[in-house]
């Protein structure tokens, strides 16, 4: 009888131990709330993580803890790798293209007083001041800024417009071709009219000379001593002048 009691006590103890073990296993695998880590503790180990491919950890702002999650909206995100994204440095911006120099407003078309001796309808070019005047009535003239002959290429005289042309072709004189070749620049024998043509949108030919009043593909040169003797205007200005004068108009170059 005593032997049976001992066996029953052992079985009861084993059952109790098994129940306790099962309860412990259930406690181990049940869902638990996430561990909360203070931001100050996060920084030390997060900064030791290898950055995902193509991502650079932003060390410029160490006072801000890094956080897993989407990158800031102001920056272009790298391709998704399936891993947590971290703050990253945006690539350096490409330098802006250099803008052409602005034209001095004094060389923009305007109506000014004129007290010279030339009759209305005459074109007067003041090479020294880089202005072209279309003489009007009542002591007024329409003034345009121009580019004129560079040192050694200036000239003066009186001619009449012998021809007008829209989007003229350009045939450089033999002397110009030879001169530029000596500088290492090869000019074309002829260039059809168009936006790239140095004669621009319009040309007014002066007598039987090689000189013209014409447009340009380099408007920032207006107001300078820059040409080989021709009178250079902005395209919009030479188009305006072209419509105001006719073949036979007198042109005085000072």
Contact criterion met (CB below 8 Å) for 100 and 133: no
Among 35-49, 103-117, 138-152, which is the least confidently predicted range? 35-49
CATH numbers and ranges of domains, the chain: 36-91 (no CATH), 105-253 (2.40.440.10)
Return the minimum-mean-pLDDT range out of 185-189, 239-243, 250-254. 185-189
**CB-based burial, 53-62: b 16+ in 10 Å, e otherwise:** eebebbeeee
% of the chain with per-residue pLDDT over 90 = 48
Q: Cα separation of 180 and 182, whole Å?
A: 5
User: What is the Cα–Cα distance from 243 to 232, expressed in whole angstroms?
Assistant: 17
Tell me the whole-structure pTM to 2 decimals.
0.60
The larger pLDDT score, comparing residue 84 to residue 195, is at 195
The reported pLDDT for the residue numbered 151 is 94
Annotation marks residue 214 as catalytic:
yes
* Structure confidence by residue, pLDDT tens digits, 63-74: 444 344 444 444
Choice among 141, 204, 206, 230 that is catalytic: 230
Task: Determine which one of 214, 231, 232, 245 is catalytic.
Answer: 214
Give the pair of three-digit tokens for residue 179. Answer: 């001169």
SS3 for 244?
Answer: helix
Q: Which of 14-23, 121-130, 150-159 has the lowest mean pLDDT?
A: 14-23
159 flagged as catalytic = no
What residues have CB less than 8 Å from 68, skipping those under 6 apart?
84, 85, 86
Q: What is the pLDDT of residues 111-150, one digit of tens each?
A: 999 999 999 999 999 999 999 999 999 999 999 999 999 9
């Amino acid at each position: 009888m005593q032997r049976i009691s001992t066996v029953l006590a052992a079985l009861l103890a084993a059952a109790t131990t098994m129940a306790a073990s099962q309860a412990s296993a259930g406690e181990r695998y049940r869902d638990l709330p996430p561990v909360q880590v203070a931001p100050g503790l996060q920084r030390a180990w997060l900064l030791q993580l290898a950055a995902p491919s193509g991502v650079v950890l932003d060390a410029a702002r160490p006072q801000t803890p890094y956080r897993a999650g989407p990158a800031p909206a102001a920056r272009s995100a790298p391709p998704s790798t399936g891993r947590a994204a971290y703050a990253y440095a945006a690539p350096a911006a490409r330098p802006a293209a250099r803008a052409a120099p602005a034209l001095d407003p004094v060389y923009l078309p305007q109506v000014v007083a004129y007290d010279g001796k030339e009759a209305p309808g005459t074109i007067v070019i003041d090479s020294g001041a880089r202005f072209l005047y279309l003489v009007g009535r009542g002591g007024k003239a329409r003034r345009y800024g121009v580019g004129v002959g560079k040192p050694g290429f200036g000239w003066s005289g009186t001619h009449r417009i012998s021809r007008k042309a829209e989007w003229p072709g350009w045939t450089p004189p033999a002397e110009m071709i030879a001169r530029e070749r000596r500088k290492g620049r090869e000019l074309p024998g002829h260039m059809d009219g168009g936006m790239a043509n140095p004669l621009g949108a319009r040309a007014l030919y002066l007598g039987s000379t090689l000189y013209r009043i014409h447009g340009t593909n380099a408007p920032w040169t207006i107001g300078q001593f820059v040409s080989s003797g021709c009178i250079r205007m902005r395209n919009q200005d030479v188009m305006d002048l072209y419509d105001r004068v006719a073949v036979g108009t007198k042109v005085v170059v000072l």
